Amino acid sequence: MVISGKSSFVALLGHPVTQVRSPEPINEWFAANQVEAIIFPMDVYSEQVPTLLASVRGIRNCIGLSVTVPHKQLVARHVDALTERARAIGAVNIVRRSSDGRLLGDMVDGIAMTKALTNNGVSLHGARAAVVGAGGAGLAILHALGEAGVASLVIIEIDPARRAAAASSLARSFPQLELLDVWPEGQAVNLVINASTLGMREGDPFPVALERLQGVRIVADVVTKPSIAPWLEAARSQGHKIQLGEEMTLAQIPIQLDFWGFRPNSHC
């Protein structure tokens, strides 16, 4: 990859950023398609994010941003415009900078998760799902599952206010959807998704106890480092099909490239 005065860039904002996996495949796509651009991680404290966004508006060779934990909701409050999807969720994970410096945010974690699940042969229509975590990625995934036609959602979130906000948002968008905040006794759950950061740190508890997974078709995670979280490893050892966090990351790369103005091809 050659960086010249003609090069442009995407910054990936987060704290920490050591766990991120998307720069490598995106940079590989840039190189394979002879695009003079680069994406690189920026470890930024939350209190500095508004200042950084103000600076990005004036950087003419900045294509946009990728956003990871914990900044997804914060960035949504400081961009100039949001897609309808991002507005409903209240969070963004990608930002496009226009030629006049305006910043447009979108949230595609959810559709990336459902795309990865579909790639794994999971039928979502009518399914009963449980999602751990209702933060930026979690709420995006909950909304995407609603869009995909799941029949029931269990929202597992330790913060009561966040859980209530997620339930309220989903009830407005999907009035027919059954919403639960406790595990349904005597009813099968078809898929379980960890949309929290549990598993990133050594010694983290499992997002869902293994005994709860009986009858679950697939266990999915958003965590990308470690590549296979201990919870997923344990679930696999019990015979469950698993979906790695990296699969969601790879599923959204073509979506991100398109949002930034590129035309991804089969090399993604």
Asked if 225 is an active-site residue, the reply is no
CATH class of 110-248: alpha beta
Q: How far apart are CA 211 and CA 208, in angstroms?
A: 8
Contacts for 114 with CB less than 8 Å, ≥ 6 apart: 124, 141, 144, 145, 147, 148
Structure tokens at 211: 């005994």
Q: How far apart are CA 199 and CA 206, in angstroms?
A: 7
6, 72, 115, 225: the active-site residue: 72
Question: How many CB atoms lie under 10 A from the CB of residue 22?
Answer: 20
Q: pLDDT tens digits for the chain (268 residues)?
A: 778 999 999 999 999 999 899 999 999 999 999 999 999 999 999 999 999 999 999 999 999 999 999 999 999 999 999 999 999 999 999 999 999 999 999 999 999 999 999 999 999 999 999 999 999 999 999 999 999 999 999 999 999 999 999 999 999 999 999 999 999 887 889 999 999 999 999 999 999 999 999 989 999 999 999 999 999 999 999 999 999 999 999 999 999 999 999 987 644 4
Q: Are strands 218-221 and 81-82 parallel, antiparallel or unpaired?
A: unpaired
Q: How far apart are CA 130 and CA 81, in angstroms?
A: 31
Q: What is the DSSP string of 142-192?
A: HHHHHHTT-SEEEEE-S-HHHHHHHHHHHHHH-TTSEEESSPPTTS---EE
Q: 8-107: what fold?
A: Rossmann fold (3.40.50)
Among the listed residues 63, 50, 69, the one whose alpha carbon sits nearest the alpha carbon of residue 11: 63
Structure tokens at 73: 């909701």
Residue keyed to tokens 């690189």? 40
Q: What is the pTM of this model?
A: 0.92
Name the residue ranges covered by the structural domains of the chain: 8-107, 110-248
Q: How far apart are CA 179 and CA 187, in angstroms?
A: 14
